[in-house]
Structure 1
Amino acid sequence: FSQEFAPTSIAAAEIQSMFLDSFLSDPVWLHRYARNAKGEPIPVELLREMKTESLRFGARGLRRGMVVPFAEKAIYELKENELTPERVLQVVRETEHRLLGGDSAMPTLAIPHPWERDTSAYYHSYILAELAVYQTRRFFMRKFGSIVDNPRLGRELTKFYWAPGNSLTFLEYVTNLTGENFSADAAVSELTHPISAAGRDVEEALELEARTPHPAEPVNLNVNLIMEHGGQVITDNMNGKSFEQMAEEYAQWLQKQTEAKRLGK
């Protein structure tokens, strides 16, 4: 059982979703699965550009996320007689300047989490989870040499991240899987990787993708799955529909939504 309230750790919940999110920027996954309507793969040059941009702005993106918890901390540390709109704005701006060197492109107080009772003072969990994703990916690459379409990952994730449920803390999750104490070392290593190496990184990723076997059998999640948009059922597998069929139906539905939005419908 899991939820976004105690005793569930937000960081533990987020590491699972953010680890899956990380596939969407993995050159191996992108080259294999990011295809246009003609079935053509994403251009290699675009992969190089994406890798370059991730190295150029990755550290700033992480620091941008850190602004929120540090700003919240500064606000909560104010004395009661200091809690004025002007003083709150001042400490938030000071935090932005300290971590980003200037005003944030998106004002920190435009982020809804600090305003809500249920989500205030937990934004740091996203940062912890992001650091843990770097550590998790590094562990898998060292142990298995690949991540995309590697069935061994599922067994590891099931044993160490999913099966324990709320019986462990976030730090225990990470330590039990990776065999190392939680740290920012993997993130620092990746975020300080030379931008000049982006091209070589992509070439190595393409070589890895070429060596990685495609799934030999259809995906079987062993669950009853319904994808809904409000009251509309987009697709489901109640009648034996395969995961691949569901994915295709969802892709078609999403394409229609995108086209309708483009036409202003």
Structure 2
Amino acid sequence: MFLDSLVGDGDWLARYARDREGNPIPWDLVEEKIRAVHPYSVFQLRGMISIPFFEKALYELPEDGVTPDAVLALADRIDVEIFGGPAARPIMSVPHILADESSAYYHGYVLAKMSVFQTRDHFLSKYGYLTDNPAVGKDLSEFYWRPGNSEGFLDLVEQLTGKPLTADAWVSDMRRPTEAVVKSEETRFNDGAKKGPAISPGSEVDMGMNVKMVHGDETISDSAVDGSFAAASNKFKAWVRKVYFGGQN
């Protein structure tokens, strides 16, 4: 999720969000998205926390109180408590609640999102930028990826950021005035546009691994067989265009 967050940053968009001719995304589109999304970002948070709040209340019901009507009424009550009224996404439409193998873990998404913002805040305070920063990759490898499951999630976050996991960074981000977000992202965007992509479109990159693109039983491309990752990627692109777009670019 941390890596997913990078693709919304102004500098990443300026460097890598490009059309088929290689032209970067216009700043106007980035600004439009910020103004359309940021003022309402709290609704994403409410949508996420409503599920664990509902599940907690559900599993606290006495056994003889678990009836269809009671469960639906409980979902409505949580909606009102979290959103102030019916939510755009009804709680009972979330599939995790309805399957035993995915019940009572939705809070993991909330904790993960908290860690994303805390990790971003840590790196921005320490290094000043994220996109194409080798120091960020080094720290992620050392503190998050190398320990793996030998360390607890909360311990990993604290060891990297130096702080226990909290929602402070997430809440702070939501509280930022939209104009301040636009200004800071425009600065990032302009900086990214000046630097350009560290890896230009179509150029070769050595990831130190063999990559296969597979569809069911069909191997579409294989970097070892095709000679490089770029060649395998281009072969996969051609396959997608042929299968889904009639061969059109």
The SS at the match of 1:239 is helix
Gaps of 5+ in 1: 1-17, 261-265
| Match of residue 209 from structure 2 | 223
> Structure 1 residue runs of 4+, over 6 Å off?
none
Q: Which residue of 1 aligns with 2:39?
A: 56
Q: Distance in 2 between matches of 1:248 and 1:145?
A: 34
Give the counterpart letter for 2:85 in structure 1. Answer: G
Structure 2: unaligned runs, 5 residues or longer: none
1:78 aligned partner: 61
Aligned pair count?
243
List per-residue Cα deviations over 1:42-100 (Å, max 9, x = no partner). Answer: 11111001122331121110110111111111111111111111100111111111111
Which structure 2 residues correspond to residues 7-46 of structure 1 after superposition, within 5 A? 18-46=1-29
Shift of 1:247: 3.8
1 CA distance for matches of 2:133 and 2:182? 24
Pair member with larger Rg: 2
**Residue in 2 aligned with 1:171?**
154
Aligned to 2:83: 100
CA deviation digits over 1:6-58, x for unaligned, max 9? Answer: xxxxxxxxxxxx11111221221112111122222111111001122331121
* Aligned-partner Cα distance in 2 for 1:219–1:177: 28
CA distance in 1 between counterparts of 2:239 and 2:133 reads: 29
CA RMSD after TM alignment: 2.1
Q: Output the CA distance in 2 between the equivalents of 1:249 and 1:57.
A: 40
- Matched residue, 1:112: 95
Q: How does 1:224-263 map to 2 (within 5 A)?
A: 224-239=210-225, 241-256=227-242, 259=245
Q: 1:255 to 1:194 in 2, by over 3 A?
A: farther
Counterpart residue number, 2:186: 203
Cα distance in 2 for residues equivalent to 1:23 and 1:97: 33
Contact 1:131 1:183 in 2 (8 A): yes
CA distance in structure 2 between the partners assigned to 1:143 and 1:251 by the alignment? 38
The answer to whether the 8 A contact 2:11-2:191 is kept is yes
* 8 Å CA contact retained: 1:52, 1:195: yes
Match of 2:114 in 1: 131
AA matched with 1:229: H
The aligned residue for residue 121 of structure 1 is: 104
Distance 2:89 2:4 in 1: 22
Corresponding position: 1:88 with 2:74: no
Q: Percent identity?
A: 38
The residue aligned with 2:125 is 142
Structure 2 CA distance, aligned partners of 1:90 and 1:101? 15
Q: TM-score, normalised by structure 1?
A: 0.84
Letter in 1 for 2:130: I
Question: In the superposition, relative to structure 1, how do residues 156 and 114 fare at CA in structure 2: closer, same or farther (>3 Å)?
Answer: same
Shift of the 176–203 alpha-carbon distance from structure 1 to 2, 3 Å rule, reads: same
TM-score, normalized by length of structure 2? 0.89
